[in-house]
Amino acid sequence: MKIALAQLNYLIGDFEGNLAKITGAVSEATSKGADLVVFSELAICGYPPLDLLERKEFINTCNHSIEKLATILDPGTGVLVGSPEFNTSSDGKLLFNSAFFLYEGKVQQVFRKALLPTYDIFDEYRYFEPNREFNILHFKKRKLAVTICEDLWDEQPFENEFSRSMLYTTNPLEELHKLGPEAIINMAASPFAHRKMEIKQSIFTGKAARYNLPVLYCNQVGAQTELIFEGGSMAIHPSGRVASKLPLFREDILISDLNELIESEPPLSTGVIPDRIGTMADALICGIRDYFGKLGFKTATLGLSGGIDSAVTLALAAEALGQENIHVLLLPSQYSSDHSVNDSVEMAQNLGIKYNILPIEALFYQFRKSLEPLFENLPEDITEENIQARIRGTLLMALSNKLGNILLNTSNKSETAVGYGTLYGDMSGGLSILGDLFKTDVYLMAEYLNREKEVIPVNIISKPPSAELRPNQKDSDSLPPYEELDQILEAYIEKQLPLEKVTEMGYEPELVNRIIRMVNQNEYKRYQTPPILRISSKAFGVGRRLPLVARY
């Protein structure tokens, strides 16, 4: 039996478009001899549909799409495709997260997801009832265990010390193994996280080795708002070695001969994990491209300051959207250095990007003059710095409104964490590109983007970072060195370690206390930021929910 894994990029709610992708993939796989074609979790409607699942007409359309798909496919090819399903029982949630087996023009069998994640970005128990009855797919004299994403993730090596390695009381694969399957199929919608690639692969290779069964893992690809799915679908030998694997961030189809997979010697390769920074760059480019493409936008703008954050954002956006679709503004103040403007011009010219220089000094003067009666000769402070940032935000939004561009936010995760940014100023935008990238990784990303030629001028990478909102300002005036700050932030935010554990890493309690206090006090700012492309295991946004009003 030949099984095809169809790694596709869906659009949530685009039923006709998704069906066209699915039927096209089935046709291609069938022409290459596939007996069974496997698609990812909730492929019919796209993942994650969120509260669209609470609309009856949305679920009805999913059902009609399944029925239509069954009738238009080659009746001799089996298809496993994910879709929500009404729970006909009078008890429990209204829906199941299901996999439909289509063959000979109709739905032959339905398999339901047992483990419903409710951590980080996931909130599946909000919508779905967990499966409690397990059965096997019998197809062409083979017995196949069909699982949906989390059903193979009952064991997880969490970084958070306040977590259990066993998240659930049910082990779906243990139940299915009792029924004597010859292979395991997993239909997934598993989002990308740059430090989880090896862990994710080890979960599937570990299951194959434990049960001495091949695992066929089909993951979706492409971005849905802030979530980015890398694909990386793979066929795993019963020994636990990766036999074949699809590329990341690209639609593709993998066809495996189940007989060969079971009977062959273990492959030499164990599945190479790609370079972390390079994969992060690919993820962000995918996120930008899909956010624009799926919304129907083509053009972007941003403020090019001469700093490393806006430079990296521009380089990624140019790769994702094309240089002809970007228009940047250089917005120097009286505090901006000449080299900041020159460096920005050089970078725009390196990429062939359209740019304009709009000095803000005269506008800043008018703001101060208008506010003089209110401020009554009070000394200048952060207020005047924020006014400059908001003038820049206003000019960028004006260009965005007039020309139909999306404004790209350039704030990094380090700044966003400690509130080192101005609401309605440099925190403005329709999409945050670097909001899940610590500053130290921004520098590594710049070096990666310059690996073949100098896209980002070396001076931008080498000079000390500064907001340039007051004379001789540097980030280090307000923040500890980023090498220290980022380690503390990662420990507190992503690993969720308490203060005493962070100080055990070698940092002064006073410094750790100060940083944690800054993180906690600036939750209100993060609540108002644009969507942040998620590339870590704990990003700001829907996966990190904290009260704005609290005393902790």
> What are the phi and psi torsion angles at 432 (to 5°)?
-95, 120
Grouping H, G, I as helix, E, B as strand and the rest as coil, residue 256 is strand
Q: Which of 2, 41, 200, 538 is catalytic?
A: 41
Residue 190 and residue 185: Cα distance in Å, rounded? 15
The structure tokens listed for 180 are 């004597």
Alpha-carbon 221 to chain mean position: 11
The DSSP bridge partners found for residue 146 are 185
Sign of the alpha-carbon torsion through 277, 278, 282, 285: positive
What are the strands, taking DSSP E only, across 41-94?
78-86
Q: Are strands 36-38 and 137-139 parallel, antiparallel or unpaired?
A: unpaired
Q: Are strands 227-230 and 221-224 parallel, antiparallel or unpaired?
A: antiparallel
Grouping H, G, I as helix, E, B as strand and the rest as coil, residue 186 is strand
Sign of the alpha-carbon torsion through 489, 490, 496, 498: negative
Q: Which of 2, 45, 62, 149 is catalytic?
A: 149
> Peptide bond before 373: cis, by omega within 30 degrees of 0?
no
Alpha-carbon 55 to chain mean position: 25
Q: Are strands 227-230 and 106-112 parallel, antiparallel or unpaired?
A: unpaired
Polymer length in residues for the chain: 552
Helix, strand, coil share of the chain (percent; to 5): 40, 20, 40
CB-CB contact of 439 with 482 (8 Å): yes
User: End-to-end alpha-carbon separation of the chain, Å?
Assistant: 58
AA letter at 7: Q
* Residue whose tokens read 């069998």: 109
AA letter at 540: F
Would residue 450 be called left, alpha or beta, if left means φ above 0 and alpha means ψ between -120 and 50 degrees?
Answer: alpha
The structure tokens listed for 507 are 């940092």
CB-CB contact of 329 with 355 (8 Å): yes
CA atoms within a 13 Å half-sphere pointing along the CA-CB vector of 101? 19
CB-CB contact of 35 with 1 (8 Å): yes
Check if 149 is active-site.
Answer: yes
Check if 41 is active-site.
Answer: yes
* Residue whose tokens read 């699942």: 53
The structure tokens listed for 287 are 């996120």
Name 485's Cβ contacts closer than 8 Å, sequence gap at least 6.
414, 418, 439, 479, 515
Q: Which of 21, 113, 196, 200 is catalytic?
A: 113
Residue 175 and residue 143: Cα distance in Å, rounded? 14
Catalytic residues: 41, 113, 149
